[in-house]
Amino acid sequence: MSRDNVDGANGGHGYVLDDQIGFLLRRAYQRNSTLFAALVPGKLTAMQFAVLFRLAENGPASQNLLGRSVAMDAATTKGVVDRLIVRSLLQVGPDPDDRRRHLVSLTPAGTTLIDKAVAAAVEVSETTLAPLREKERETLLRLLRKIS
């Protein structure tokens, strides 16, 4: 359908779905998600990968801090953590400095999996960004950081 047809069909206000940030981000995310599912080992979702990676990067954390560090709300974080505990990739134990608090940490299996998954995640990003020149990649990532 041409843009002229769309303009006529939508009351002439000039809205073009293919030019909308949300639509374009969703399409890019779909492409990235397909690559992620195909390349990253362990049947990890992107959110599960983010949790495992952040714990590998920073060490044990409270569930609240962990969720904030990967931009997840409390309910989503709890669900992701619970699923990773069931898979024996995470464990929860008391905070040695504050017995009222619990810390989430990687198990040895979680450490092994995230170590393998990182190389695949790099490949996912490289493949997702492959159509862009280096300068375009830098600009895209800078702009996405700015609006997120």
Backbone dihedral angles phi then psi of residue 130, each to the nearest 5 degrees: -55, -35
What Cα–Cα distance (Å) separates residue 31 from each residue in 28, 52, 130? Answer: 5, 22, 12
Q: What is the mean pLDDT of each run of 10 residues along the chain (148 residues)?
A: 53 88 96 96 96 98 97 97 98 92 97 97 96 97 96
Please give the Cα distance from 11 to 77 (Å, whole number). 42
Single pTM value for the model = 0.85
Q: 40-147, what's its fold?
A: Arc Repressor Mutant, subunit A (1.10.10)
**Res 99: pLDDT:** 85
- Neighbouring CB atoms inside 10 A of 124's CB total 23
